[in-house]
A and B are shown apart, each in its own frame.
Chain A
Amino acid sequence: MSKETLAPAQQGANSVRTHVVLLVIGFVMVFPFLWQLIISLSTNDQVMSVPPTFWPGDLQWGNFVTVFTKLPFFDQFGVSVGITVIRVVGQVVLCSLAGYAFARMRFRGRGIFLGVILSILMVPPQVYLIPQFQIIQNLGLLNTIIGIALPGIFSAFGVFLMRQIFLGLPLELEEAARLDGANPFQIFYKIMLPLAVPGISALVIITTLWSWNDLLWPLVVTTYAEKMPLSAGLATLAGSITTDYPVMMAASVLAMAPVLILFIALQRRVVEGLAFSGSK
């Protein structure tokens, strides 16, 4: 866009000063990521040097190879992907079904049951974590992908979000379908669900983020490094007395890269999804 086509107020937005300020703040925000990359490509001696080595010169790509050969990275990556997929699919199916029923169907005790589900939102996880652990233990699901994922496929937030979406959709479509003889599930699946896509995508984004990054629960239900998701694996690695800093940084780069890259690629959608869920 050429400058002539911009209104005067908009020209002000693109002053050199504005962009310098934005770049400086942006640099501060991403500096830790840049530093992480630099360390991951350095030697341990360079990392511990004073003054710091800002550019390693010889890039140590071998650090990344070490992550795969010396650490159970592949296993942990698989666990992270597994629990994220199960939770996302589970929440989308269960929350949209329940959210729809709470928004549009009439049944005995609807208000009470909704209240019971939403009451969990007020409760910090510490209040249900210990018995949840005991349930998973009693089911023999410690150190399994299902065990890590299971409680997280039920989501009060997801039910609330989907209910809000369905409440906002027009009633006429359902009535027309009902006249055509569609049963409630067909109405839900064929007509209402496609209209709820903005809500579903917000739910997918939030659940992915939370599932990939969550630490406390996986730490509780796993004890073997190769059964942990990446978050718990990294934390355990850092807790053990490892001083191979470049490899640790390489592992942390690889652990967060998949979701980070995916979400940067889908930037607009992610911002919309998060803002959307915040507006409900």
Chain B
Amino acid sequence: MTLRIGNTVGESRAPADLPVRPTAPKPKPKPKPQGFDGYWPWLFVLPTLLGVLGFYIWPIIQTGYLSFTETGPFGGEEFIGLDNYQTMLSDENVGQALINTLVYTAIVLAGIPIALLMANLVNQPGLRFASFYRVLFFMPYIAMPTAVALVWRMIYNGDFGILNWILSLVGIDGPYWTSTPGFAIVSVGIVGMWASLGFGIIILGAALKNISPDYYEAAQLDGATKWKQFTAITVPLVTPSLFFVTIISVINGFQLFDLLYAIMGQYNPALVQSQSLVYIFYNQAFIQNDKGYAAAIGMLILVVIGIVTFFQFRMQKKWVNYV
């Protein structure tokens, strides 16, 4: 170790500013190893660390183990190897649930361009009542999903819902939205899109504010139309935020449960064909009480999200611009 006196070119600070680095070697009875901060950090970190290990890491390991077991009728587990995974791969309901989850997620993702347009609209400089509009736009995002789901259930009602009444005005005989297989997951998806627009608007709105007005002024001088400015300046400059919103939307899309559970109810005839992966997981784990099988489904959700996220990160080079 070289002895620093504080007169090297890079160090213009006065020696008094460097108390941690003594200018002369002093004999210490117990030199701290590499400058660790003793026991203090542990007091800060230990509660969280123990909580995370106990309530998250250990359960994750447990779930891995559970997925290779069968839950007996009176509790207790029996090791059955890969049986749960084999059952899962040939389980039509799981396949259908995967498709439903993907359909739902795709519908929610289709909301992101809409969110960008809305964010662009509400973030125009000098817009009056902007915060009023912003509140209208982000209300669905902060409202309790279970509660709004119940309203949508009324709107979608096949007999007296307002949606079918509006459709009847233009001569369309609307279906039983939430109890017809196929229609049901799309109906839930539309609610999901409506509810998540606010998130995109907030994140993308923040990104829009960071774009220098100079770009737009220059474009205006060049005679670019509003739409041209939007596609040539706005969109490329917010791609990092679009990427972030996409990643989060996919992760949240795969978590579809609340809306589905509350919109469809437990006695819906279309439920079996309209389940999401998380719904099947919940049903197997806590209603059917087959925790081993449910654990395997949990692992499936982990793997699918992992794969999708991996490909999103691989593809980001193709469309995300980091300035």
Question: B55 contacts A105, CB within 8 Å?
Answer: no
11 contacts between A and B (CB under 8 A): A116-B52, A126-B301, A131-B63, A151-B55, A188-B44, A213-B143, A216-B282, A231-B146, A232-B146, A252-B150, A274-B199
Stretch of B85-93, B179-187, B257-265 on the interface side: B257-265
Docked CA distance A123–B305 (Å):
9
Contacts A259-B144, A274-B202; is A130 near B162 (CB within 8 Å)?
Answer: no
Q: Is A275 an interface residue (CB 8 A)?
A: yes
Docked CA distance A184–B257 (Å):
44
How many residues on the B side are at the interface (Cβ–Cβ under 8 A)?
101
Docked CA distance A27–B194 (Å):
12
Q: Is B215 an interface residue (CB 8 A)?
A: no
With A36-B151, A107-B36, A126-B301 known, 15 other A-B pairs at CB within 8 A are A13-B126, A32-B151, A36-B148, A116-B53, A117-B49, A130-B295, A151-B56, A156-B52, A185-B43, A213-B143, A215-B146, A216-B282, A238-B146, A238-B149, A278-B241
Q: What is the CB-to-nearest-CB distance from A160 to chain B, in angstroms, rounded to a whole number? A: 11
Q: Is B102 an interface residue (CB 8 A)?
A: no
Docked CA distance A126–B278 (Å):
7
Closest to B267 in A: A241
- Residues of chain B within 8 A of A51, CB atoms compared: 165
Docked CA distance A245–B143 (Å):
19
How many residues on the A side are at the interface (Cβ–Cβ under 8 A)?
107
- Residues of chain B within 8 A of A19, CB atoms compared: 128-129
Docked CA distance A7–B124 (Å):
13
Query: Within A220-270, which residues are at the interface with B (CB < 8 Å)?
Result: 220, 230-232, 234-235, 238-239, 241, 245, 248-249, 252-253, 255-256, 259-260, 263-264, 267-268, 270
Q: Which residues of A contact B (CB under 8 A)?
A: 1, 6-7, 9-14, 18-19, 21-22, 25-27, 29-30, 32-33, 35-36, 39, 47-52, 94-95, 97-98, 100-102, 105-108, 110, 113, 116-117, 119-120, 122-135, 150-151, 153-154, 156, 159, 175, 178-179, 183-185, 188, 209, 212-213, 215-216, 219-220, 230-232, 234-235, 238-239, 241, 245, 248-249, 252-253, 255-256, 259-260, 263-264, 267-268, 270-271, 274-275, 278-279
Question: B147 contacts A216, CB within 8 Å?
Answer: no
Q: What is the CB-to-nearest-CB distance from A19 to chain B, in angstroms, rounded to a whole number? A: 8
Stretch of B3-11, B133-141, B231-239 on the interface side: B133-141
Q: What is the CB-to-nearest-CB distance from B313 to chain A, in angstroms, rounded to a whole number? A: 12
8 Å CB contact of A131 from B62, B205, B206: B62
- Residues of chain A within 8 A of B269, CB atoms compared: none
Stretch of B22-30, B153-161, B314-322 on the interface side: B153-161
Question: B48 contacts A154, CB within 8 Å?
Answer: yes
Closest to A270 in B: B142
Q: Is B31 an interface residue (CB 8 A)?
A: no
8 Å CB contact of A113 from B43, B49, B63: B49
